[in-house]
Amino acid sequence: METAVALAIGILVATGVYLMLERCLLQYLFGLVLLSNAANLAIFAAGRLTRATPPLVPAGMTEPPQPVANPLSQALILTALVIGFGLLAFALALIARSYARFGTLNSDRIRVAEPVTPEENRDG
């Protein structure tokens, strides 16, 4: 099971990095989301992949009677998912505004926001 998860993490990271190297802002965002999901999957795998019971302690006991799932990795992933969704929504709003302002999502063509140096001003 760990081998399949490690392979999935590798594929997600490779695809995310490939998309982040593109010039299109939307593809960059999709690559960032894939990289975020790969990190979440890596945290989940680091918390051990077992078919354990929920981490609940029955009344009158001081510890669970059988092996339990690791709640720390689950809490970290839940927090990362919420933050990732907020980042995705904010970035999509920025990309939509950028497209409305410049008419393109190509990062090379969006040079209006960059300051013009004196050398570039003299050249043309």
pLDDT one-digit tens code per residue, 22-66: 889 999 999 999 999 999 999 888 877 777 677 778 888 888 777
The conformation of residue 79, written as its DSSP 8-state character, comes to: H
* C-beta atoms surrounding 34 within 10 Å: 20
pLDDT higher than threshold 80 for residue 11: yes
Q: How far is CA 16 from CA 60, 62, 93, in A?
A: 48, 44, 20
The CATH fold of domain 2-50+69-123: Helix Hairpins (1.10.287)
Confidence of residue 74 (pLDDT cuts 50, 70, 90): confident
Which range has the worst mean pLDDT, 74-78, 90-94, 108-112, 116-120? 116-120
Tokens of 85: 């969704």
pLDDT higher than threshold 60 for residue 79: yes
pTM: 0.75
Helical pair 71-102 and 25-46, crossing angle rounded to 10 deg? 180
8, 38, 45, 5: which is closest to 20 by C-alpha? 38
Domain spans in the chain, listed from the N-terminal domain onward: 2-50+69-123
Furthest-apart CA pair in the chain: how many Å?
Answer: 81
Confidence of residue 96 (pLDDT cuts 50, 70, 90): very high
How far is it, in rounded angstroms, from Cα 25 to Cα 95?
7
